[in-house]
Amino acid sequence: MNINAINDLTTGELRARLLGCCSGSAWAERVALSAPFSTTEDLRECCVTEWRRATEEEILEAFSGHPQIGDMNALRDKYASTASVEQGQVIDAAEVVLLALRQQNQVYLEKFGFIFIICATGKSASEMLALLEERINNRPDEELANGAIEQGKIMNLRLSILLEDD
């Protein structure tokens, strides 16, 4: 979509499109209410600014919109449209790596109370496993901040796809 098409959307329609970029409802509402935008860069800047304003509750809501890295059922089902694109390299990973991802994701979830968030685009399953194993030793506040940064990257990638989609 170009910026004119974005600006022609109702607030509700824009909010729905934005929720496809980030599952944070308050974030999507704040961005949608900021329309119209002069340029796509203005929209991008608004998205980033509003994401930085997100509260812990809003960040956790956004996290809930993601499947766990390596969750093959999610890749096949509910999140197939985005997870297969964003985590496609996981589909071809060795079974031992997938099992380790699944186990470490569970440990991570139990430790932090939310799933491991990583911008998976361009990363192999082994790379994501190494990052998960590295980050699992962090404090909860560090991991919330790390996850928020990664969620911001994911949001930007998805926004790019939205803006390219005509």
Q: What is the pLDDT of residue 70?
A: 62
The rounded radius of gyration (Å) of the Cα atoms in the chain is 16
Active site residue 47: no
Residue 46 token pair: 């608004």
Query: In whole angstroms, what is the distance from residue 125 CA to residue 129 CA?
Result: 6
Confidence tier at 69 by pLDDT (50, 70, 90): confident
Q: Which CATH architecture has domain 67-143?
A: Orthogonal Bundle (1.10)
Angle of helix 40-52 relative to helix 25-33, nearest 10 degrees?
A: 140
Helices (H) and strands (E) in the chain, counts: 11, 0
Confidence tier at 135 by pLDDT (50, 70, 90): very high
Residue 2 token pair: 């170009």
Higher pLDDT, 81 or 1: 1
Higher pLDDT, 165 or 24: 24
The backbone torsions φ and ψ at residue 165, rounded to the nearest 5 degrees and listed phi first, read -75, 110
Confidence tier at 90 by pLDDT (50, 70, 90): low
Residue tagged active-site, from 66, 123, 135, 158: 66
